[in-house]
Amino acid sequence: MPKISNLVPQPLKAPPPRPGDENGKATALDHAKEAGVTVVDWVDERTSLSGGVRWLLFRKVPKGTNWFYTLGSATMFAFLNQAVTGVFLAMYYRPDVNGGAYESVRYITNDVFLGQFVRGMHKWGASVMVVLVYLHMGRTFFFGAYKYPRELNWVIGVVLLILTMVMGFTGYLLPFDQKAYWATIVGVNINGTGPLLGPYLSDFLRGGPEFTATTLSRFYAIHMLLIPGAIIALIGAHLYLVAKLGTTAPPWLKAEEEPDLRKVTV
Ligand code: HEM
């Protein structure tokens, strides 16, 4: 039988004394030190987000986890670099086939403050992301991470790989110089040779049977809106599954043997 006094709401205990000066008064520095904690507490009290963050970030990882496991995060940071530098490039880029696109890229490279640097980060970052995504795929393949129960994450990964390649393909046209133009014609024609869907795909990419101004606008929209949106959504799903299922132990580690509970030891 619970004691009656335990059922009656008790008055709240006085909070622990806050740090302060010798008179017990909080100084400006004390307030400043607590500001971050207070903001986080304020948001958490209203959203309970900390539980989700703890679920996502604080977890046990298998024995033998090594540097190869950082390749997925490295790919993600390469993508973030593309997103951030891409926003700055989009502030100046014009998808105009009558010299405007070429001129805007020339302007970014030669005249905009740090333009050449940001363009370089975006251009080289694209290659870095492609290399990293393949290395990450290799790691998950050779560690057997595609097996049950992670098949769905492998499939999501395959779509992410294709989308990464589409980003590279659509971005290549945007400077609209001779190399970009002719390489894209070749690429679109190669797509057209695919079985059944090939001709429809190349018509879709061109925006009709001919390479026109629509083609450049279409490539730009696919490159900066459609694919990045899809990549962000799929990275979210990919990471959710990684957090839910955990990562795979390296294949050279043997599973620990279950103790034989029926064996009598004396
Ligand atoms: C934009 C591209 C991608 C990003 C940002 C990404 C990100 C990540 C991250 C952060 C992890 C957890 C850490 C790690 O194991 O490295 C992971 C795990 C995983 N990824 Fe990816 N990934 C991408 C593409 C791919 C591709 C192309 C595949 C395979 C086709 C793939 C398959 C997997 C699998 C199976 C796991 C689970 C690994 C395990 O259980 O040990 N991912 N990914």
Ligand 1 lined by 227 (C-beta under 6 Å): no
Question: How many CB atoms lie under 10 A from the CB of residue 168?
Answer: 13
Query: What is residue 4's predicted lDDT score, i.e. its pLDDT?
Result: 64
Q: What is the pLDDT of residues 200-211, one digit of tens each?
A: 999 999 999 999
Rounded Cα distance between 35 and 50, Å, is 17
With a cut of 70, list the residues of the chain below it in pLDDT. Answer: 1-8, 11, 14-24, 258-259, 264-266
pLDDT at 51: 92
pLDDT at 113: 98
How far apart are the C-alpha atoms of 60 and 243, rounded to whole Å?
10
CA distance 153 to 140: 10
The CA distance from 218 to 138, in Å, is 32
Q: What pLDDT shows up at residue 20?
A: 64
**Count of CB atoms within 10 A of residue 20's CB?**
11
Number of H helices, E strands in the chain: 11, 0
Say if ligand 1 is within 6 A of residue 145 CB.
yes
**Does the Cβ of 136 fall within 6 Å of ligand 1?**
yes
Say what the pLDDT of residue 38 is. 84
Q: Please give the distance, rounded to the nearest whole angstrom, from the Cα atom of residue 50 to the centre of ligand 1.
A: 25
Whole-model pTM: value is: 0.85
Q: Which two tokens stand for residue 170?
A: 């659509």
